[in-house]
Chain A
Amino acid sequence: MRTLRAGAACASIAVMVAGLGAYVVASSAVPQEKTIRIVSERFNYSPAEVTVRKGVPVILEFTTKDVLMGFNLPDFEAKVDIVPGKVARLRLVPDKTGTFVFLCDVFCGSGHEEMNGRLIVVD
């Protein structure tokens, strides 16, 4: 499962070991992973449609304006709970193209069944 808790998604420096030498690469030297912020509130996500590239890592960053929410992307077995007052992050490396439904999997009221969106993965 590609579920990551808040704060655990992004390494700012990378350590590379080659032979007997070790190299510390500053974060500015590696491509910055794109962060997409998604705000949830009863009963929608904003944005509700997110486009990413296949094979390109992306950080999805979630907050909720009101109650406990969920983000579940079943086709990638990726899910995270969105707790009020906290930022939830989920790192995703899409390995297939297409349009995939994501949904709230924490019951949040009368519009819960309609609370979903689409992840579009392109080449």
Chain B
Amino acid sequence: MAGIDRRDFLKLAGIGGAGVVFGSALPGMAGAAAQDDFYFVQLSDTHWGFEGPPNPDAKGTLKKAVAAVNALEQQPDFIVFTGDLTHTTDDPMERRKRLAEFKDIVAGLKAKTVRFMPGEHDASLDNGKAFREFFGSTYYTFDHKGVHFIALDNVSDPRAAIGDEQLAWLAADLKEQKADAPIVVLTHRPLFDLAPQWDWATRDGAKAVALLMPYTNVAVFYGHIHQEHHHMTGHIAHHAAKGLMFPLPAPGSQPKRSPLAWDPAEPYKGLGFRSVGVDKPAGFRLGEFPVQKKG
């Protein structure tokens, strides 16, 4: 199925799989509604170390995001960063310096549990070596209040592949789950062919989706494309998050995927983070938060 707008998605998500309610959150709002079992926050594509006209406040945006998350009335149960924590560099020392600086900044988050995933900018040039030194394994699972979370690595292989070994690990993990278990997959690249002409895909993503397909309550949260996007593969919903350095154009909308220009009239436009309220078994409540000028 091609890209769908919010209204279509709402209709689709209400049939079969986990439902979704969208909301535009305002600063200071609680991230979760009263009926939610819990909520978590997704931040993505912080690209620490990037410099250039697309973001004149490259050194300040992540700090503003941290302040905005800390300002939420109700703190999330946990926070996940879905990759591209740092901007790529050929210099292994500089890569580690950026990862260290990033880690120091996000240490200021109030939430006690923060989980990290790599993006290709962090991991593709050294197969995830530096990332693992700072944050541990590039793929893992965890359970939280009855929801099974699976973090998939589709970036440590520079060919944008998950790989047979990790797919076997995924298959073994899923065998332990009931068919109707709530499952959330976290990853960096889209697991489906969103825009192959822009390399917005995972080579063997279809294999992962096929493994997930027998499970009736699955949602995927990912990054990479620096914008909110929603897509269904069968009953599985895929939700892309905004980035925190520069927005990118709509999938396939122009020849090149160059960053959108900074708009002085609307600074930080297109940047933000997401809250995900989990209400078993009804589904997910998504809130989109902007980056504020003051923070």
Contact A105 B160 (CB under 8 A): yes
Closest chain-A Cβ to B128's Cβ sits at a distance in Å of 12
Q: Is B89 an interface residue (CB 8 A)?
A: yes
Task: Indicate the size class of the contact surface on chain B.
Answer: 20 to 34
Beta-carbon nearest neighbor of B248 in chain A: A113
Contact A101 B255 (CB under 8 A): yes
**Whole-angstrom distance between the alpha carbons of A111 and B256 in the complex?**
12
The 0/1 profile, CB within 8 Å of A marked 1, for residues 184-225 of chain B is: 000000000000111101010000000000000000000000
Is A50 an interface position by the 8 A CB rule?
A: no
A113–B201 alpha-carbon span in the complex (Å) = 13
B90 touches A109 (CB 8 A): yes
Residue of B with least CB distance to A118: B255
Give the docked Cα–Cα distance between A37 and B120 (Å).
Answer: 29
- Among the interface residues B88, B159, B199, which one has the most CB atoms of the partner chain A within 10 A? B199
Q: Which residues of B contact A106 (CB under 8 A)?
A: 158-160
Q: In the complex, how many residues of chain A place their beta carbon closer than 8 angstroms to a beta carbon of chain B?
A: 19
A41 CA to B258 CA in the complex, in Å? Answer: 20
Q: Which of A72, A108, A110, A114 has a CB less than 8 Å from the CB of B158?
A: A108
Q: Is A74 in contact with chain B by the CB < 8 A criterion?
A: yes
List chain A residues, Cβ under 8 A from B125: 107, 109
B89, B197, B201: which contacts A101 (Cβ < 8 A)?
B197
Tell me the complex Cα distance, A75–B196, Å: 9
CA distance A103 to B196 in the complex (A): 9
* Complexed CA–CA distance, A103 and B197 (Å): 7
Residue B124 is within 8 A (CB to CB) of chain A in the complex? yes
Given A81-B159, A108-B158, A116-B256: A72 and B199 within 8 A (CB)?
A: yes
Question: Does B63 count as interface, using CB distance less than 8 angstroms?
Answer: no
Q: Once the chains bind, are B197 and A74 in contact (CB under 8 Å)? A: yes
Q: Are A70 and B159 in contact (CB under 8 A)?
A: yes
The interface bits of chain B over 130-141 (1 if a CB of A lies within 8 angstroms of the residue's CB, else 0) are 000000000000
Contacts of B155 in A (CB 8 A): 107
Q: Which of B90, B197, B198, B258 contacts A110 (CB 8 A)?
A: B90
A65 to chain B, nearest CB (A): 15
Task: Specify which chain B residues have a CB less than 8 angstroms from the CB of A112 in the assembled complex.
Answer: 88, 199
Tell me the residues in window 70-123 of chain A with beta carbons closer than 8 Å to chain B beta carbons.
70, 72, 74-75, 81, 101, 103-110, 112-114, 116
B148 interfacial contact with A, CB 8 Å? no
Q: Does A9 contact B (CB under 8 A)?
A: no
Q: A97 CA to B120 CA in the complex, in Å?
A: 34
Q: Which residues of A contact B256 (CB under 8 A)?
A: 113-114, 116
Q: Does A68 contact B (CB under 8 A)?
A: yes
For A75, A103, A104, A106, the residue with the greatest tally of chain B CB atoms inside 10 Å of its CB is A106
Q: Which listed residue, B90, B158, B196, B203, touches A74 by the CB 8 Å rule?
A: B196
Task: State the Cβ distance, A114 to closest chain B Cβ, in Å.
Answer: 7
Residues of A within 8 A of B258 (CB): 113-114
Identify which of residues 35-80 in chain A touch chain B, using a CB-to-CB cut-off of 8 Å: 68, 70, 72, 74-75
With A70-B159, A105-B159 as contacts: A110 and B199 at CB distance below 8 Å: no
User: Can you sample 11 A-B contacts with CB below 8 Å?
Assistant: A104-B199, A105-B199, A106-B158, A107-B120, A107-B155, A107-B158, A108-B158, A109-B88, A109-B90, A110-B87, A116-B256
Instruction: List the 3 closest pairs (A to B, CB-CB), nearest first.
Output: A107-B124, A74-B196, A107-B158
Where the two chains meet, the residues of B that have a C-beta atom closer than 8 Å to any C-beta of A are 87-90, 120, 124-125, 155, 158-160, 196-199, 201, 203, 255-258
Q: Chain A residues in contact with chain B, CB under 8 A?
A: 68, 70, 72, 74-75, 81, 101, 103-110, 112-114, 116
